Each structure stands twice: as C-alpha cells, then as structure tokens.
Amino acid sequence: MKNHEGIQLQHIHKTYASNQVHACDDISLSLELGLKHIIVGENGAGKSTIMKILSGDIRPDSGKIFYRGAPVSLTHPEDALNLGIGMIHQVLHFFPELTVREHLILGMKDLKPLKKIDSESIDAHIAQICKTYNISFSPDEKVEHLDAVSRQLTALLALISRNVEVFILDEPPQEVLMIAQRLNEEGKTIIVITHNINDAISFGDEVTVLRGGTLQGSYETSTITREFLANRIMGDHDSQMLLSGGKKRLSHQSDSRDLIGNPLVILEHVSGGDLDSQDQVEDISLEVGQGETLAVVGIRDNGLKALESLVAGYKQSTYRQTSGRIRILGKRARESSYDEVGYIPSERLSTGGAVSMSVIENLIMPWRRDRALFRSSRIPIYSSKRLNKVAKDVIRDFSIKGSTQDSLLSLSGGNIQKLITARALHHEPQVLICADISWGLDIKTREALFNAIEVLKSRGMAVLFFTSEVNTAIDEADRIAILRRGRLVSIIKNTEKVTAQSIGEMML
C-alpha cells in the first residue's frame, strides 16, 4: 500500500457463472492519480473485467476497492460516476434513435420529471467542450448515423460533461487517445486497455500486464523495452510473434506474382451503394485470382462498407448496385452457396450472429438445412449429437474458449470473432469475402486466424479483404487496392517498398 491517494484494487476475484472462466484471479493493483496507465494482455486476460469492476459494471466475487484512501462499494456504473470514475466500453450501447445531445442529457444529474430542459445552455456546453478538445460533430446527429469513432467520442463527451476524473478507455481508437492526452495534461487520470504494445509504450506512463486473469506486474514505461513487454504478455514462448510483423509471410512467396491465377472474383465498372449517404462507390473494376489476397483499403463510410455490401450481396435494400457487373465464381453476388463463398461481415455482432442464441445455433446458420445435421436424411429433425459434433470440431480447431451451449454473448470478443471466421472457413470455400477481421484482436488470435486463411489460400482460395487499417493490409495482402471517396485510386503490388505512409497519402 504505497499510495493512499490513488485507486487501489485489493485481491479481486471474479469467476463468470455462465462459463466458469476465472477472469480475475487475486488481482491487486495500485493506480496513481494523474498518470496515464496502460493495461495490456491477450484476449481473455481479464483486462476488461478488472476495469469493469472498477467502473461498477461488474461486481467482484471478493476483494476490496479503495479510492482516494477510502473504501468504496461499486454496485452500479452510477456509483463509479458519482466518484468521478467513468468507462468507455469497446462495444457501446446507445439508443440509436436519440441524438448526441439527448444522450448527454440522459447522463445529467439534475434531470427531473416535469423540469424543462435548457437546450441552449446544453448546446453551449457541448460546443465549448468540442472546441476545447477539437472534436467536430453536430449535437443533432442521431447516434445510429454515427460511425464507431464518433460513437466513442460521444461517450467521451458524456464523461467529460459529467466532470469525470478517471477515464477508463477500452481499446480506444486513435482519435479518442489524442483527446485523452489532452485530458491527462489537465490532470485527469487515464486508464487505457489495449493490445497494442507500441501504443502502450509511446502513450503510457505505467504499464500493467495481465495474463490469464493474474497480475504479471506493473512497470514504468521509461524503464522497459518492447521485447520485455511482449515477453510479459505472452510468456517467452510466443513473444517473438508479437514483435515480428506479418510481412514475414510475404518473404517466402514467389515474387513472380505478376500473373494472377484464374480470376474468381471479377468486378467490372461497378457503381452503387447507400444512395442516401456518402457510402457509395463509382466505377470499380478489379479481379481477385486463385490463391491471392486483394486488400481494399479505404475509409469505412466513404465507400468501403458499400463495396463490401455490394460484393457480398448483403442488405440489398440499402446498398443498391446502379451499374456494372459483379461475378463471383461466374455467378452474381449472393447466388453462390456459403460453402463456396465465405463471408465475414464487418459488423460482427449485429450481422455475424444472434447474441442471445447459443454457440451451436450461431454456428449452424449456413448449414441449417444440411442433411448431415438431421437425425436421418428423411426426417428433417436436428440431431443434437450431430450438432454437438460439428460445434465441438470447430471449437477445437480454432481453440475457441467457451461451451457450445453458452450464448454467443458470453464469449469474449476475440472468441466471437474466431467463431465467425471458423464458420466461414469450415467448408473450405473457394472465395472468402472478409472485412476488418483483426479489429480488437490480440496478436496471437490474429495470427491464428490469418494462418487458417493462409492454409486455404495455398489450396487456391481467393481472398477479398476490406479494411480501413492500412497496416493490416500491408501485413496480409498480395495486392492492395486503394479507395478514395468511392473511387479506386490504384491497385498496387504489395512489395517491401510499400509503406503505410505511402498508402495513407493515396487514401486521403
């Protein structure tokens, strides 16, 4: 107990009842106020859990929490907020129909029935905060129309307007991190949960490492190296993986890849998209050949999502193709079966699964009418034995942590992502359409997913990969197509000369 004025977590234990996972195993932490703390660890290391305990979202099984020297009992996020501790979650829950302003009003303490809400002073307040921290968006915007980053900013705005002193940020995007830097300069305490060891070292004052629900140690960032940190996060064995980028994979590929294999995906002068928004593409022509990965990089709501939806033939009521031709395995979008063309959507929780259904039920979606799952080929009744077998195979092959009967929501984000990928790859499709699959994943999980894709690629699978992360594209793609304002700027071969900066310049 070195510092009585900070935040102290003592002997925190937490086991999730639904799957008996020990998310926190006797974690004791001391966080000094006014500093930038980083919590690092793999998926499932207990990072989010311990911070949710500190923000009152989850109650620990045992353990004590002290804030500024006094013991506190946090049974609800509101308790933590009243103390000045607020958290921004990785996946945010909003009322989609409400505007940014209305969300800020919801969090206000002097909100009373029948009391008139003074919109003008609220707007002035919002404008002032936006100006101070250089945030730009309109308070009249409905939250459902905001992209992920703006939603995070809305949540941050809400915390700032409640005069929060301790900000807990779970996998914040770069924009939020920049504002967090400003807040810290004003004396606020920042706690960031991240996978990214570069961010950890460049941003933080102090790094705390968790592994498998236990505390590995806390270090001042000035005294440690990336190698040391990687080692603490993953153990000696795997740390090499964290340090070497994905580019290593390219080295053993032949450089004579000018000639693409037999093209499986062909887009000719494709235009279309969500005609009510900026999310449109114009005159896109590209081909993806057998055994290659083509990464399309761009800004999400500036055509990337539209192109993904058009190629996948998804949400045809919103995303309309106005002209051009899409052929996948010689057929139109959506005409091939899921076993031929796998699709990993960018919205993994809303589109990729039904959260309250079980792991099995989420898994069998593409094969729900497959006779192999029925008791006999004549009677179309599911056999629990066969369902379980399929599910257990997938869970084992992709080392997904969780039981087949659990609801999807009980799995961690990384495991959900693994499950959705596993589903797409299970029957070895010839074409894989996937979007931003590495988002929020630790390196080990990411490698596992890309390795699985790599194996199928070597057997001739064509991969069309949509991403807004330039680095991921450089790590994983054979060729990179750059999208700017809905138009294809260029398609380049991914050689050693290609850098994130050169692509970034073309995107903007």
Partner 1 sequence: MSRLLHSLYLIVLFIVIIFTILLLISPEPVMAFEDFVTGPFSNIYNTGNLFAIAAILIICGTGVSISFQAGLFNLGGEAQIYSSALVGTLVGLALPEGSGFFGILVVIIISMITGAAIATISGFLRYRYHIHELISSFLLSGGLLSLTDFLISNTFRDSKSFLQTTSKLPESFYLPSILPPSNLTITILIACTVACILWFWLYKMAGGYEMRVFGLNKDFAEFGNISSRRYTILPLMINGACFGLAGALMILSTQHAAIVGFSAGYGWNGIVIALIAANNPIMTIPAAFLLAWVETGTRTAMAGSSVSLEMSEVIRGMILLMITLRFFKNRRSRS
Q: What residue ranges bind partner 1 (CB under 8 A)?
A: 314-315, 334, 338, 343, 345, 347, 350-357, 361, 364-366, 368-369, 380-382
Q: How far is the CB of 353 from partner 1 (least distance, A)?
A: 6
- Identify the CA nearest to 465 among candidates 475, 196, 455: 475
- Given a contact cutoff of 8 angstroms between Cβ atoms, the answer to whether 452 and 426 are in contact is no
Q: How far is the CB of 460 from partner 1 (least distance, A)?
A: 25
User: Which CB, 18 or 214, lies closer to partner 1?
Assistant: 18
- Given a contact cutoff of 8 angstroms between Cβ atoms, the answer to whether 95 and 143 are in contact is yes
- Identify the CA nearest to 155 among candidates 93, 96, 97, 79: 93
Q: Residue 251: how many CB atoms within 10 A of its CB?
A: 8
User: Which CB, 368 or 396, lies closer to partner 1?
Assistant: 368
Q: How far is the CB of 186 from partner 1 (least distance, A)?
A: 38
User: Which CB, 337 or 399, lies closer to partner 1?
Assistant: 337
Q: How far is the CB of 237 from partner 1 (least distance, A)?
A: 37
Q: How far is the CB of 319 from partner 1 (least distance, A)?
A: 11
User: Which CB, 1 or 381, lies closer to partner 1?
Assistant: 381
User: Which CB, 98 or 357, lies closer to partner 1?
Assistant: 357
How long a stretch of residues is the chain? 508
Q: How far is the CB of 416 from partner 1 (least distance, A)?
A: 13
What is the DSSP pairing of strand 166-170 with strand 189-194?
parallel
Residue with token string 């004579």: 256
- Identify the CA nearest to 435 among candidates 493, 351, 362: 351
User: Which CB, 212 or 366, lies closer to partner 1?
Assistant: 366
| Kind plus residue range of the DSSP H or E element containing 443 | helix 443-458
Look at residue 379 and give its three-state secondary structure: coil
Residue 339 buriedness (CB in 10 A; 0-12 / 13-18 / 19+): middle
Q: How far is the CB of 394 from partner 1 (least distance, A)?
A: 17
User: Which CB, 343 or 466, lies closer to partner 1?
Assistant: 343
- Identify the CA nearest to 345 among candidates 318, 312, 321, 317: 312
